[in-house]
Amino acid sequence: MSNLPPPPPPPPPGGGRGQRRPAKSDRSSPKNKNESDHQNSDGSGSEPRTGFPRWGWWIIAAVALGALLVPSLWPSNDGTDLTYTEFIADVEAGNIATADINTGSGKITGERTNEERYNTSGGGERGVSEADEQLLKDANVDYEFTPPSNNFLLNLLGFMLPIFLIIGFLVWMQRRASGQMGGVMSIGKSKAKAYTTDKPSTTFDDIAGYEGVKQEISEVVDFLRYPERFKEIGARVPKGMLLVGPPGTGKTLFARAVAGEAGVGFLSVTGSDFMEMFVGVGASRVRDLFQQARRMGRAIIFIDEIDSIGRKRGAGLGGGHDEREQTLNQMLAEMDGFETSEGIVIMAATNRPDILDPALLRPGRFDRQIVVPVPEANERKAILEVHSRDKRIGADVDMDTMAKATVGMAGADLANLVNEAALVAVRRGSKEIERIDFENARDRVVLGAQRESVIMSAEEKKATAYHEGGHALLATVLPNGDPLHKVTILPRGMALGVTWSLPQERHTYSKEYFEDTICKAMGGRVAEKVVFGHLNSGAANDLEQATGIARRMVREWGMSDRVGPQAWSSQQATFLGDDLMSSGREYSDDTAKLLDEEISKLLNHQEQRAHDVLTRHRRGLELIAESLLEHETIDGPTVARLIQQGMIESGESAPSLDDIIVH
């Protein structure tokens, strides 16, 4: 139930500090015709259109629609408007000379005897009734019935509409088929994205810390901008640079910064873009990628996640993936096929350098490996400040303290921490991010979200309090472990309770540190055994972590006197290039028995050590558990004070904080 992750192996060095590069405004941005042509063809620039413009079709459609609708909507003012009653009265009075009756609309038009035109809406579907028609005859009115006039365009549209629909469907099918054929014909084209100097907004100023990494990458950018400086003394820039580091440390961010800093063409592609279901497509895309770079003149090619295509050849069950191996072979050939004088530099990023093919890492291909490690305390502070500069931060927030409390976090973790703190502040109703928001966000990121829906019985809650109390007591009194930060019995993440120790800034770990870590992991299990006399399943994660540390101590780190200075890796994965038939154990059955005995001995010894310490501080354990049941969460200084109080109640003299540590 405690957060006891297996300690990582010592991280590789990250390089020293370097000089800052010249200001971006001092650099020129040459662009040749080939470069601009390429930008137009791949979509990153503008491409002139040819042929009939698209807006012309809209104009034609508007004219046709107007020709159909305007005649019918245009008002007619060619005579006097009469009601039908007035029309009949004029007929009886002999004032009507002619009458033109429209059988479709019933409208009547004509001339009076004084040659003045008139209009009337008519008296029915025929325009006039039979009686009124007889009246027209009796008055000697020259009348006639005319059918409704036909709209030629409307009739033509009704005739041509089915033909237009059929033609449109055939054109759509033809374009769809040609698009699919075009996709098939261009399947071997590179999917690299081309960037210009004004498109990426990220620069080295946006990356906090990592001065050594910036210096090494800046050398490549400077070579591409000012090659004469290097040629004067005969220096040769590396063909390839490999960024290596844990996930989230900013390898891709550095590549984006190079795109923003460099005044040359920049092609970005991921390793998965080369892979396709068709054999040979990956190799074709590699060739097209390097041809693109050559057309751009001086350029940087960035391949993210290169391990997806650069794994060791001949690895895995039944041999390697043929398509992946062909792609890798083509990349190796292309890297050998150009000289650094061409002004093309390849950058790649991976967090698994151990699985890359050795031929890819030899000098002349990826000459230089740049380690992008987890940031140090001062770098974490700078990263937190970068991600906080566009946020409203409270006056009580100390970035130094937050940097020291986030050991092991990468840049992506720190960015997520600041954003999570902002979300917590919004939920709390605050107008600025305060220290309590950062602490709550850190607890959520590290320990997991609090599960308020979990309801524990009184027995479970008491057992959890003693379990976490055992972890907290050992974390306080053991001399070589990480100091205790807080302990809680509130369910968080997948655990019913959490004991949190703040890891110190370490690069190497001693045998004593690992022993204290294992002893602390045993604290919860042993505390329940001492107090209740039985065990439960709550210590499963603790035992898993403790066993993992003990196994690595014995098998990999040479921390067993009986085994001696020998190391065997825990697992041999078949995709690392080892033959399946020979990737079994590298030691005899006797050695395997010895390893198991040493691991078991180490775990049993630390369990007994935890039992002795908790038995000695039994009263302190009870006070910690009672405080947890009352307050649910207590911090490290409170735990130390309760241990002191327990020692006093047990009859010992008033101890200091140093006296409670078990040396």
Q: List the chain domain ranges.
A: 75-146, 190-371, 377-446, 458-649
Average pLDDT value for residue range 469-496: 87
Q: Which one is predicted more confidently, 341 or 137?
A: 137
CATH of 377-446, one of 3.30.420.10, 3.40.50.20, 1.10.8.60, 3.40.50.2300: 1.10.8.60
What pLDDT does residue 449 have? 74
241: three-class secondary structure by DSSP = strand
99 phi/psi in degrees, rounded to 5: -145, 125
How big is the chain by its Cα radius of gyration, in Å? 42
Computed over every residue of the chain, the mean pLDDT equals: 75
> Are 377-446 and 458-649 the same fold in CATH?
no
pLDDT over 90 for what percent of the chain?
12
Label residue 78 by pLDDT band (50, 70, 90): low
Neighbours of 258 (CB within 10 A): 27
Res 59: pLDDT = 75
DSSP 311: B
Q: Does residue 494 register a pLDDT over 60?
A: yes
Cα separations in angstroms, 232 against 229, 299, 348: 6, 21, 28
Pairing of strands 142-146, 80-82: unpaired
Q: What is the pLDDT of residue 549?
A: 93
> What is the band of 31 on the pLDDT scale with cuts at 50, 70, 90?
very low
Q: Which of the residue ranges 135-144, 215-224, 254-263, 269-278 would you say has the lowest mean pLDDT?
A: 269-278
- Any long-range contacts for 181-189 (C-beta under 8 Å, 24+ apart)? 187/276, 187/278, 187/281, 187/284, 188/280, 188/281, 188/284, 188/285, 188/288, 189/284, 189/285, 189/288
Q: How confident is the model at residue 53 (pLDDT cuts 50, 70, 90)?
A: low
Mean pLDDT of 74-85: 68
Tell me how far the alpha carbon of residue 264 is from its chain's centroid: 27
Of residues 595 and 364, the one with the higher pLDDT is 595
Predicted local distance difference test score (pLDDT) of residue 274? 67
pLDDT at 105: 72
CA distance 500 to 439: 13
What SS3 state is found at 299?
strand
- Who contacts 539 (Cβ-Cβ below 8 Å, separation ≥6)? 1, 467, 524, 525, 528
Mean pLDDT of 337-347: 68
What gap in Å lies between CA 216 and CA 212, rounded to an integer? 6
Predicted local distance difference test score (pLDDT) of residue 103: 72
pTM over 0.85? The answer is no
pLDDT value of residue 498: 85
Q: What's the CA gap between 570 and 552, in Å, rounded?
A: 7
pLDDT of residue 602: 94
Distance CA 499, CA 472 (A): 6
> Quick one: average pLDDT of 460-482?
90
Question: Distance (Å, rounded) from C-alpha 259 to C-alpha 96?
Answer: 89
Amino acid present at 358: P
Mean pLDDT of 641-655: 80
DSSP annotation of 356 reads B
3-state SS of 85-128 is HHHHHHHHCCCECEEEEECCCCCEEEEECCCCEEEECCCCCCCC
The rounded distance, in Å, linking the Cα atoms of 183 and 612 is 72
**Which are the contacts of 95, defined by CB distance < 8 A and separation ≥ 6?**
112, 113, 114
> Bigger pLDDT: 526 or 216?
526
What are the tens digits of pLDDT across the range 244-270? 888 888 887 887 787 777 777 778 787
Separation in Å, CA 562 to CA 513, 546, 569, 594, 604: 20, 20, 18, 8, 16
The CA-atom distances, in angstroms, between 299 and each of 229, 244, 260, 291, 391 are 18, 22, 13, 11, 37
Integer Cα distance of 364 and 354 in angstroms: 19
Integer Cα distance of 114 and 95 in angstroms: 8
- Strand 108-111 vs strand 98-102: parallel, antiparallel, or unpaired? antiparallel
> Which pLDDT does position 543 carry in this prediction?
92
The active-site residue, picked from 211, 261, 334, 468, is 468
Arch. (CATH architecture) of 190-371: 3-Layer(aba) Sandwich (3.40)
Give 278-317 pLDDT, tens digit per residue: 555 667 777 777 877 777 777 788 888 887 777 777 655 4
Q: What percent of the chain has pLDDT over 70?
A: 73
The closest alpha carbon to 662, from 471, 468, 474, belongs to 474
**399 or 334: which leads in pLDDT:** 399
pLDDT of amino acid 41 = 37
Query: How many CA atoms lie less than 13 Å away from 607 in the CB half-sphere?
Result: 17
pLDDT class of 406 with cuts at 50, 70, 90: confident
Fold assignment, 458-649: Methane Monooxygenase Hydroxylase; Chain G, domain 1 (1.20.58)
**Of 266, 510, 505, 489, the residue nearest 374 (C-alpha):** 505
Q: How many CB atoms lie within 10 A of CB 87?
A: 23
Element (H, E) at 641: helix 636-649
Query: Is residue 334 flagged as an active site residue?
Result: no
211 Cα distance to chain centroid: 25
Out of 87-91, 273-277, 326-330, 572-576, least confident range: 572-576
Choose from 181-190, 364-373, 401-410, 415-424 the range with maximum mean pLDDT: 415-424
The reported pLDDT for the residue numbered 581 is 42
Q: What string of DSSP letters covers 426-438?
A: HHHT-SSB-HHHH
- Residues 222 and 218: their CA atoms lie apart, in Å, by 6
Fold of 75-146: 3.30.720
Q: How confident is the model at residue 93 (pLDDT cuts 50, 70, 90)?
A: confident
Looking from the CA of 482 toward its CB, the CA atoms found within 13 Å total 25
Task: Tell me the mean pLDDT in the region 116-137.
Answer: 75
Higher confidence at residue 540 or residue 335?
540
The pLDDT value given to residue 38: 39
36 vs 46: CA distance, rounded Å: 10
pLDDT of residue 585: 66
pLDDT attached to residue 625: 92
pLDDT score of 608: 94
Answer with the residue of higher pLDDT: 123 or 553: 553
